Amino acid sequence: MHNLSTDTNIPKLLKDVGLRVTPQREAILNFLIHYEGHATVDDIYQAVHPTFPGLSVSTIYNTMKHFGELGLVKEITFGDAASRFDVNVQPHHHLVCKHCGKLIDFYLPQPPNFALPPDASGFEVEDYHLEVKGTCRECRDKERNEQTQ
């Protein structure tokens, strides 16, 4: 598990996880580190495509899968929506705005006690992710402004 930040030495990190350092991989990680939020493959593509026009969406998706396997990013999927990628790989959860799709990280001080159903006998919880849906401040403010007009 790696915590990426703006002072991460990307070439060293890539070498440390056994990857060859390429300008494309550096550009993708640099974008993710500086991106405010949880990027989709399309977000990454739009950002790096001007510099690397030969880089395909498929290559970016495969790179992100590989980064995920190495613990550099965490893939987040919500229903049928596009996968998003998070450089915060520490255990955390998400508030999800049901209007704009914005994700906000939040933390619980300790794992909750799960009351598993009787038919889950023998099930061992290895990981969990809590998704809390609601309306973000920006969408609430927008709704209020539309109602007062």
The Cβ-side half-sphere exposure at 9, using a 13 Å CA radius, reads 6
Number of H helices, E strands in the chain: 5, 6
Could you tell me where the DSSP H helices lie in the chain?
A: 10-16, 23-34, 41-48, 57-69, 137-148
Is 21 annotated in a binding site? The answer is: no
Tell me the one-letter amino acid at 116.
L
E strand or H helix at 103, and its extent? strand 103-106
Say whether 104 counts as a known binding-site residue.
no
136 belongs to an annotated ligand binding site: yes
Residues with Cβ < 8 Å from 4, sequence gap 6 or more?
13, 29, 32, 33, 72, 73, 87
Residue 97 annotated as binding site:
yes
CA dist 130 and 116 (Å) reads 15
Which residues are part of a known binding site for Zn(2+)? 97, 100, 136, 139
Which residues are part of a known binding site? 97, 100, 136, 139
